[in-house]
Structure 1
């Protein structure tokens, strides 16, 4: 794993780069931390003289589903693809979308980028790195959360506990009896993602914590690079406070259960100095109504739900606060809100979890709290209310900590990594053999994960629906097997069919294998098509 500064490549490889940024959603209709980082970094690369375009899903906009619309944003061409909520729902099929792949291939052919820089891909198409690689274009993927490991992106179980066993995904995605839901076998879902990520030339993680989790999951350590997120410097703004002595506590982020906002409300309600503080929540999310009801029950009159606030207005929001709290109960990567608050000169209290301790040194640049410990959080907040000098000291140190963390510095390191993979012509292939799966996942839906496959295939191969394999992957496919069958006669018939194609595939050279797979797909019903 590379945690040292990226080394610049020889001068012979310098010059303007054509860069295609790819992400499942993009501003202005969707502005989360990952999407904001993707946009700001794309802008920084463009400002350094590179030609940058963006390929992104468009959710909730006017573009018909599956259609492409090109527009301009901040001087960059944005290729937007109309998406629907179901495209992002793991219960249906949020891995690959044929229309998206065809639009991507057209953009790659038209733009001919030197490199693709991908961010979150779930819901758009995880086949993007493979499609680019087969056209001779390397892909660098920046990881913002756990989308490659966890179908909920957060490694949080439905009961609110952190997931420590990524083999138990059916706890979060139970088998459904709803018509049309494919109940894709979990092994095939996981292997399809791993197969696509095998084509990635290099990975970037903003935090060492997230990098370690992905390497432990199976990504190659020699392709992992830790490069911290950049951020815009926040101007010094005079607070609009007049003679108000109330200590203003701020939360900025998604109003979801994994963010721990309910614990923050309980902590403020339990404070000894609760009458001296005012809590402001900035953000939207599904927990808003429940949080409002909770605050009413707790008698918190000094609570403001500010909703979504435009990024260019956040400097004033931070200027009018004294303490920023991020009470997350999930393993955050490198939260944008913490970086913004520290850069603004705010005292920060945050959970000691995930990559947060890489930003905050407890007692020096902020305070760290045990995740979900309401009593501890209330005590820390009381201490900062009682000791304004400590707040100011933490704020000063935090601001110094965030100096020289701008997007230009991050863009320079990302550019150097781009040039490394371009110069080395890094177009990797899967380390494990690929097994194409034919057949159907219809049948006894109570057990879609049962596989009628030899143990050696289950242990040493990547299994993926044959219809989802790209042209290059079909050449690499070494076996064709039926995943599961029921009943003696059905098992015998489907087994003979799959065996005949499997034997044929094993004796033919790679260039002839796609034709065998096409014949197999015609004779055997297959898993849900990529659309």
Structure 2
């Protein structure tokens, strides 16, 4: 798969007033970090950037990639590990709930250093998780500064900031370290992440936060909000302004698709700052061979949640002869109510809920499908 190699400089200033630092360096790391996700690509050794001769890249993601079964967390881990094999020095800053008494744990896995905030010990979350901490947790930020100073990165690559802090990006800019931000979803625009309303219909954007107050009902919200409508409108407006400043402070913003880029541009992100960079992928070891003539095996791999649209897929399969088609569903089900509704809907159909699988089994599982189904309701 061919990826875009960014060579031009990114002119101008960030919204926090600091100069854009090291655009060429950010561009090179941006291109390599995602081209590296395809192991078939031959990535050259990093040019010398310090005494050790290794470019140091610090990734930031909201949930510990070593524990997560899917999503941007797994992608972060893959990119960091592959870059480490190519001669880059990589580290990941994230968080996890641990029984340890250490507030900031440091460990190494597959050549990657991990700085993990123990979320169990965060004082705010032990009392009452406030809306502000969903995008600007200053206690987490203090731990990040310790990790940042200890690792001394040449480039900061932010994969996701959910429940971390936008100050992470602004701090790197203040320290003259280039910042790359990845648009893996619509979290910078939508506190529900996927730009879907509570009824799962699409939303065009926050409109300065004005439209977000209707999603503040705790029944539908990812975070407990006991706020009246006027207060909620103000809170969402502040969130929108703050995260726009954070996003626009980046030297480079990368989008995996034209659709994602278009939605961010329509909501105020400068078009010339967003570079299109499709996801890297691992090569399947051998070509698929259809197992049974006249029989179709569908596969779904992903989080079993309403926005992924599995209920739509089951509706589409209703009435189809189960002797002709089978659906295998792989993934974690954090919403047990939704999961049970799917199991009930699937009664009488040739549907199998397979649970999760190890990364080493990915090739075998994908090769077993005739068609990989992707019934998502949002623009992924």
- TM-score scaled to structure 2, two decimals? 0.76
- Measured after TM superposition, the shift of residue 23 of structure 1 is 0.8
Partner of 1:77: 113
Partner of 2:355: 307
Partner of 2:93: 55
Partner of 2:60: 22
Q: 2:238 aligns with which of 181, 188, 197?
A: 188
Q: 1:209 to 1:317 in 2, by over 3 A?
A: same
In 2: Cα distance, 1:212 partner to 1:247 partner: 35
Partner of 2:345: 294
- Measured after TM superposition, the shift of residue 125 of structure 1 is 1.3
- Aligned residues of 1:203 and 1:223 also touching (Cα < 8 A): yes
* Residues 398-434 of structure 1: CA deviation (Å, up to 9, x unaligned): xxxxxxxxxxxxxxxxxxxxxxxxxxxxxxxxxxxxx
In 1: Cα distance, 2:358 partner to 2:289 partner: 18
- Measured after TM superposition, the shift of residue 90 of structure 1 is 7.3
Q: What is the alpha-carbon root mean square deviation over aligned residues?
A: 3.0
In 2: Cα distance, 1:174 partner to 1:91 partner: 13
- Measured after TM superposition, the shift of residue 138 of structure 1 is 1.8
Q: 1:70 to 1:193 in 2, by over 3 A?
A: same
In 2: Cα distance, 1:165 partner to 1:49 partner: 41
- Measured after TM superposition, the shift of residue 170 of structure 1 is 1.0
Q: 1:177 to 1:115 in 2, by over 3 A?
A: closer
Secondary structure of 1:275 counterpart? coil
- Measured after TM superposition, the shift of residue 89 of structure 1 is 7.0
- Aligned residues of 1:18 and 1:51 also touching (Cα < 8 A): yes
Partner of 2:276: 226
Partner of 1:7: 7
In 1: Cα distance, 2:205 partner to 2:159 partner: 25
Partner of 2:212: 169
* Residues 326-354 of structure 1: CA deviation (Å, up to 9, x unaligned): 1111111xxxxxxxxxxxxxxxxxxxxxx
State how 1:246-261 maps to structure 2 within 5 Å. Answer: 246-261=295-310
State how 1:116-155 maps to structure 2 within 5 Å. Answer: 116-155=156-195
- Measured after TM superposition, the shift of residue 160 of structure 1 is 1.3
In 2: Cα distance, 1:325 partner to 1:4 partner: 27
- Measured after TM superposition, the shift of residue 4 of structure 1 is 5.2
| Structure 2, unaligned runs of 5 or more | 9-23, 29-45, 49-53, 219-224
In 1: Cα distance, 2:152 partner to 2:78 partner: 22
Q: 1:178 to 1:221 in 2, by over 3 A?
A: closer
- Aligned residues of 1:282 and 1:306 also touching (Cα < 8 A): yes
Secondary structure of 2:328 counterpart? strand
- Measured after TM superposition, the shift of residue 53 of structure 1 is 1.0
- Aligned residues of 1:26 and 1:39 also touching (Cα < 8 A): no
Secondary structure of 2:80 counterpart? helix
- Aligned residues of 1:239 and 1:316 also touching (Cα < 8 A): no
Secondary structure of 1:77 counterpart? strand
Partner of 2:371: 323
Secondary structure of 2:318 counterpart? helix
State how 1:321-470 maps to structure 2 within 5 Å. Answer: 321-332=369-380
- Aligned residues of 1:237 and 1:316 also touching (Cα < 8 A): no
In 2: Cα distance, 1:38 partner to 1:28 partner: 10
Q: 2:142 aligns with which of 99, 102, 108?
A: 102
Q: 1:118 to 1:102 in 2, by over 3 A?
A: same
Secondary structure of 1:55 counterpart? strand
Larger Rg: 1
In 2: Cα distance, 1:186 partner to 1:236 partner: 49
In 2: Cα distance, 1:323 partner to 1:109 partner: 47
Secondary structure of 2:311 counterpart? helix
State how 1:276-291 maps to structure 2 within 5 Å. Answer: 276-285=324-333, 286=335, 287-291=338-342
- Aligned residues of 2:134 and 2:162 also touching (Cα < 8 A): yes
- Aligned residues of 1:255 and 1:288 also touching (Cα < 8 A): yes
In 1: Cα distance, 2:307 partner to 2:161 partner: 21
In 2: Cα distance, 1:36 partner to 1:321 partner: 22
In 1: Cα distance, 2:149 partner to 2:132 partner: 30
| Structure 1, unaligned runs of 5 or more | 333-531
- Aligned residues of 2:169 and 2:250 also touching (Cα < 8 A): yes
- Aligned residues of 2:252 and 2:275 also touching (Cα < 8 A): yes
- Measured after TM superposition, the shift of residue 69 of structure 1 is 0.5
In 2: Cα distance, 1:4 partner to 1:304 partner: 39
In 2: Cα distance, 1:244 partner to 1:82 partner: 52
- TM-score scaled to structure 1, two decimals? 0.56
